[in-house]
């Protein structure tokens, strides 16, 4: 197939719409549903991300995309008991690719509502069963088991979007796009992100364990496919906060840092012990948890908590939240798609437990940024490579 007609473009008034190849066949196949214009933008960006992650680490990888940026990305590492609880994961053994998607979705469950899922490995029944329970628009993977495909074809009254991608497909070296009737042309961004980019450590502290290197690779590859400006916090092989598309780098750092804080607060014992009413669905639980963490008074005002919980939860005060974050959120890695212009980004990162930083460097204030990192005992690597994505 050289082209695929779409219902419409970014918006319903944007017709006609299609995806097509100027030469050769499309490297994908729609196995179920009818993906739209934005669906395919998410699918193709997310596939590049997980393919690159698998190539860089050797581990299965997954991503949860919304509006052409990742809400979460993760490697296929085993789930802890706490993670199973906070991500609503099923009991029993789970495949590595299922763990990867559960962790990617769990990075920011609120933003992953209605996501596009991407899998580096073939989708199996474990992954399909979890996807079937979530609000999601579609999935892209290099293959599907017969059982997985049967499960996914029952989702959304049979309309769930399932796309199979050729894992051997390589794009043309030159890419083009039209904006306002004008054609832009550039070389495809085939930059390989690997450990060679992490060798220029500029801080006094130089100890960079392998786990931190893997987290740096995860952060940088995620940023390569995130709308700029962007900053990414990573811990234990998964993103825990992505700040995308902000005009100011400090706002990226704050936004991503606040998401990282929320991810950690979801593990607070008071959050884990929330006693939900019977029949509360996953999206409602996610919203209630987010509301509880953000502002307890909203839930108590007018007895709003009664819509979600059997008993009124404990007051998660600012002091309680601050103590929990400061107590245990450590060893976090941060990546930035462009240089930090001021040390304030490092100061904000420190508040969310950042120990390791990967950024291009090249600011006229690099000395100030390095000095700030040294003050907090951080390890910072200058990659020398900007990762803007638009």
Q: Within the chain, what is the greatest distance between any pair of CA atoms? A: 62
Q: How far apart are the first and last CA of the chain?
A: 28
* Annotated active-site residue in 51, 54, 66, 259: 66
* Annotated active-site residue in 213, 229, 268, 350: 229
Could you give the CA distance from residue 325 to residue 346 in angstroms, rounded to a whole number? Answer: 17
Active-site residue flag, 66: yes
Tokens of 385: 């490579």
Q: Are 72 and 121 in contact (CB under 8 A)?
A: no
**Nearest of 140, 165, 168, 142 to residue 152 by alpha carbon:** 140
Could you give the CA distance from residue 352 to residue 332 in angstroms, rounded to a whole number? Answer: 8
Tokens of 135: 């609000």
* Annotated active-site residue in 67, 204, 314, 389: 67
Active-site residue flag, 390: yes
**Nearest of 226, 228, 241 to residue 354 by alpha carbon:** 241
Q: Report the C-alpha dihedral over residues 249, 253, 259, 264, rounded to 10 degrees.
A: 170
91-94-100 Cα angle (round to 5): 115
**Nearest of 215, 254, 267, 256 to residue 106 by alpha carbon:** 267
- Total Cβ atoms within 10 A of residue 199: 10
Q: Are 99 and 106 in contact (CB under 8 A)?
A: no
Chain-centroid distance of CA 216 in Å reads: 14
Active-site residue flag, 268: no
Give the helix ranges, DSSP H, for the chain: 37-57, 81-86, 96-106, 125-133, 146-152, 210-224, 249-265, 269-272, 282-294, 296-300, 318-328, 344-351, 366-375
Could you give the CA distance from residue 333 to residue 388 in angstroms, rounded to a whole number? Answer: 19
68 dihedral zone (left: phi>0; alpha: psi -120 to 50; beta): left
Catalytic residues: 66-67, 229, 390
């Amino acid at each position: 197939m050289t082209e695929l007609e779409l219902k419409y473009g970014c918006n319903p008034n944007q017709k006609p719409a299609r995806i097509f190849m100027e030469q050769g066949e499309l490297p994908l196949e729609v196995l179920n549903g009818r993906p739209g214009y934005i669906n395919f933008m998410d699918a193709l960006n997310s596939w590049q991300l997980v393919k690159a992650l698998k190539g860089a680490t050797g581990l299965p990888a997954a991503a949860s995309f919304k509006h052409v940026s990742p809400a979460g990305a993760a490697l296929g590492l085993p789930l802890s008991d706490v993670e199973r609880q906070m991500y609503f994961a099923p009991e029993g053994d789970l495949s590595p690719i299922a763990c990867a998607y559960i962790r990617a979705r769990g990075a920011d469950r609120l933003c992953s509502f209605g996501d596009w899922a991407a899998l580096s490995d073939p989708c199996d029944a474990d992954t399909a069963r979890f996807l079937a329970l979530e609000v999601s628009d579609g999935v892209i993977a290099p293959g599907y088991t017969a059982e997985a495909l049967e499960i996914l074809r029952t989702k959304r009254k049979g309309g769930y979007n399932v796309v199979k991608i050729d894992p051997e497909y390589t794009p043309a070296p030159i890419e083009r796009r039209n904006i306002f009737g004008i054609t832009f042309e550039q070389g495809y961004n085939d930059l390989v992100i690997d450990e060679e980019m992490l060798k220029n450590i500029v801080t006094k502290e130089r100890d960079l364990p392998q786990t931190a290197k893997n987290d740096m690779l995860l952060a940088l590859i995620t940023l390569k496919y995130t709308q700029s400006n962007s900053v990414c916090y990573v811990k234990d092989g998964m993103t825990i906060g992505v700040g995308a598309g902000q005009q100011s780098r400090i706002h990226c750092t704050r936004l991503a840092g606040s998401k990282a804080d929320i991810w950690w607060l979801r593990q607070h014992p008071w959050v884990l012990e929330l006693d939900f009413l019977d029949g509360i669905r996953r999206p409602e639980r996610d919203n209630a948890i987010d509301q509880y963490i953000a502002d307890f008074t909203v839930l108590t005002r007018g007895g709003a908590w009664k819509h979600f919980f059997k008993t009124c939860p404990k007051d998660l005060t600012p002091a309680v939240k601050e103590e929990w974050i400061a107590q245990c959120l450590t060893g976090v890695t941060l990546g930035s798609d462009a240089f930090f212009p001021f040390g304030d980004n490092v100061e904000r990162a420190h508040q969310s437990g950042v120990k390791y930083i990967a950024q291009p460097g090249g600011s006229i204030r690099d000395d100030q940024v390095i000095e700030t990192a040294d003050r907090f005992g951080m390890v910072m690597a200058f990659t020398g490579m900007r990762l803007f994505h638009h």
